Structure 1
Amino acid sequence: MSDHLILLHGLWMRGIALVMLRRRFESEGFEVDVFDYLSVAAPLERTLERLRKQLRETEGTVHVVGHSLGGLVALRACRGQDDLPPGRIVCMGSPLNGSASAQRLAEAGGAWMLGHSKELLEHGLQRWDGKREVGVIAGSKPVGLGAALGSLEGDHDGSVAVSETRLPGIRDHCVVTASHSGLIFSAEAAAQAVRFLRQGRFRHQSETVDAESVS
């Protein structure tokens, strides 16, 4: 029986943006559902309850992969919920300890663009202490809104700094050459996600990711 996987998109996106990523996971044998939500207009607690409901109604192992805000939503939904089915979480380009770009945008009068996700994006989480193993994939291609706002320091993907994707309590972390939006189209990022979902760790250093296997 195949493992189930729920995909979550990021801010200002809808589920249709994850078509290629979904196909990559399906080609690896996962049964994939895309969780579509209103990242700005919908109250966060309503989104969290919808995701928890979907997790509870899915039998067997259920993994979650979230891009950007989607990774934060996944962690918030699964934290402290002992009745959810087993599975791992992969966050792709998620500002787990807070987004400087979101803070800068809000300070510049763009708080309305963040809507109900503002607080979560600005402050993130302090640490991960949930039951699920969490792996985080960061991007290092500096093309995006954050670069234009001048809010990022160190390596970044154009919207989120690599340092913002690190969080105490996560199981593993890796960096791929992709922009923030490019993470959902990256064969390397998908291959790393598949590796973590199956083995609980990414490939590192001299190990080679077989990107062609999920292309």
Structure 2
Amino acid sequence: MRGLTMLPLARRLRARGFSTEVFDYASLLKGPAPSVDRLAARLLARRDGPVHLVGHSLGGLVALETASSWAGLPPGRIVCLGSPLAGSGAARGMARHHLGGLLGRSARLLKSGLYTLPGGREVGVVAGARATGLGKLFGGFDGPNDGTVAVWETRLPNLADHRVLPVSHTGMIFSAEVAAQVAGFLSDGRFPA
């Protein structure tokens, strides 16, 4: 999804006192590496930190890859919204059905996820549990999911916090409750109760 999709969440975070910028990337067309480098350059230009990152789905993986790959970035927390940190069963299912080309050049990252989280950063994840989305056609979910990503796929060891909400994969970027959880984590490093 393009940066425009994050505008509703950015607006809600601004209303809670955060200064926001939307980062637009095309990781499906160009792969994640150019986006990681562009995001790092943008962060390095803002050394007055802290600079927090909030990414939805693949955007969360790009944020984590950036924090893992680049030294000297300003400090800050990272919130991933429905990001398949442990890899996406729906992406693997699409590849099995010869639809992997729809994943673009980010297919490997979407299918396999990450092995570890970046050190020295508090990372929180909001997962969805409203199973509405096309991912159900390919994911073979056997537990709670947001219609695209299973809840278990959003977990890796050493997360600072993890929250499951009754939202779909796309719906989480429009949710007032998700925005409140993100704001709480950015402020305190924990999701509010």
**The two structures share one fold, judged by TM-score above 0.5:** yes
Ranges of 4+ aligned residues in structure 1 off by more than 3 Å: none
Aligned equivalents of 1:109, 1:178: Cα separation in 2: 29
Aligned twin of 1:186: 175
Q: Kindly provide the CA deviation profile for residues 36-68 of structure 1, in whole angstroms up to 9, marking residues without a partner as x.
A: 011311132111100000011113210000000
Paired residues, number: 192
Aligned twin of 1:33: 21
Q: Does 1:50 align with 2:38?
A: yes
Q: Is the 8 A contact 2:83 2:149 kept in 1?
A: yes
Aligned twin of 1:143: 132
Aligned equivalents of 2:173, 2:153: Cα separation in 1: 18
Match of 1:168 among 108, 132, 157: 157
Amino-acid identity (%):
49
Q: CA RMSD in A?
A: 1.1
- TM-score, normalising length from structure 1? 0.86
Match of 1:83 among 65, 72, 79: 72
- Write 1 or 2 for the structure with the bigger share of strand: 1
- TM-score, normalising length from structure 2? 0.96
Question: What is the SS of the residue equivalent to 1:34?
Answer: coil
Structure 2 stretches of 5 or more lacking a match?
Answer: none
Aligned equivalents of 1:174, 1:202: Cα separation in 2: 7
Q: Flag the 1:142–1:173 CA change in 2: closer, same or farther, 3 A.
A: same
Q: Flag the 1:45–1:39 CA change in 2: closer, same or farther, 3 A.
A: closer
Q: Kindly provide the CA deviation profile for residues 99-144 of structure 1, in whole angstroms up to 9, marking residues without a partner as x.
A: 0000000111111111111000000012214211000000000011
Structure 1 stretches of 5 or more lacking a match?
Answer: 1-12, 208-215
Name the aligned partner's letter for residue 105 of structure 1: M
